[in-house]
Amino acid sequence: MEYIYLNNGVKMPVAGIGTFTLSPEDAENSVYEALKCGYRLIDTANAYMNERAVGRGINKSGVARKDIFLVTKIWCTEYEDGDRAIAQTLERLGTDYIDLLFLHQPVGNYIEGYRAMERAYKAGKVKALGLSNFPADRFNNVLANCGVVPQVVQVEAHPYYPQNELKETLKKYGMGLMAWYPLGHGDKSLIKEEVFSRLAKKYNKTNAQIILRWHTQVGNIVIPGSRNPEHIKSNLDIFGFTLTDDELKEIAALDKDRRYYNRAIADEEKAFMGWKADFNDQK
């Protein structure tokens, strides 16, 4: 495993498993399998409705809590009462602290939500703070109103959409980038690009492993998800080789400014704020 140090000195693995779209049963099994084969970073969210299952997978694995970097997110409908939301997510996960906590969406009273996260951070209940899916204006609004600069931003990122402009901004604050859709939402036209097929043959890896290795070498944190134990194991087997500078330049040339998730904030707000799920009603 490789690690990065966040702008507050916290040590974070650069590769982990995501649990987006996983049912409680699948999330529990995937977390267990991931921890068993060496993963130490787990990503979930209140809105995924599988936090309790993630907690069970952690307990089942036998891996000490201190050796796991646990990430979750509070939902926009909870921002007005963020203290309560954080207490409830701790209970669902069965832990007394979270390694990295995100605001999940940039809608609703996200400034109040961030202030609740800051209180949890200062109380030792959260070790690092993050923003997920925030566009530039709302990202800057948090920076203008926060007391604790965020440590990580989570956004869509992959070779077709490498987030170069955002990463230049993040460098100014020492902030990390966590990539979701790291494989381009499974787009075969991306995964089967000639450069990845050629490098996969050279390094005796899969195309997906080449892409994930590219992410870690350019400084991204990756959280590919899977239900398949073999895929879970394969997605972590990316640290035994190093892409050359020329190979990284070849991959950089694939930038198409193409996103797979591109809903306007106005549409997001209409959809997200209308969902009043009871996150405690989890199996």
Token pair recorded at residue 184:
């381009």
Q: Is 121 an active-site residue?
A: no
The per-residue pLDDT for 49 is 96
End-to-end alpha-carbon separation of the chain, Å? 31
Question: Which residues, in sequence order, are bridge partners of residue 88?
Answer: none
The per-residue pLDDT for 268 is 58
- pLDDT tens digits, one per residue of 69-106: 999 999 999 999 999 999 999 999 999 999 999 999 99
176-180: strand order across its sheet: 17-18, 41-43, 69-74, 100-103, 129-132, 152-156, 176-180, 220-222
Distance CA 135, CA 163 (A): 12
Q: What average pLDDT does this structure show over 24-48?
A: 97
pLDDT of residue 272 exceeding 70: no
Looking at domain 9-186+219-239+258-272, its CATH class is alpha beta
Q: What average pLDDT does this structure show over 233-257?
A: 97
- pLDDT tens digits, one per residue of 41-78: 999 999 999 999 999 999 999 999 999 999 999 999 99
Token pair recorded at residue 152:
């990580």
Q: Where are the domains of the chain?
A: 9-186+219-239+258-272
Q: Are 20 and 45 in contact (CB under 8 A)?
A: yes
Q: Within 155-228, where are the H helices?
A: 164-173, 188-191, 194-203, 207-217
Q: Mean pLDDT score of the chain, rounded to an integer?
A: 94
Torsion of CA 239, 163, 102, 171, to 10 degrees: 80
The per-residue pLDDT for 275 is 61
The per-residue pLDDT for 125 is 98
* Active-site option among 39, 48, 79, 161: 48
- pLDDT tens digits, one per residue of 251-260: 999 999 999 8
- pLDDT tens digits, one per residue of 167-226: 999 999 999 999 999 999 889 999 999 999 999 999 999 999 999 999 999 999 999 999
Which residue reads 């990756």 in tokens? 222
The per-residue pLDDT for 126 is 98
Confidence of residue 261 (pLDDT cuts 50, 70, 90): confident
Of 231, 183, 234, 222, residue with least CA distance to 41: 222
DSSP code string of 128-159: -EEEES--HHHHHHHHHH-SS--SEEEEE-BT
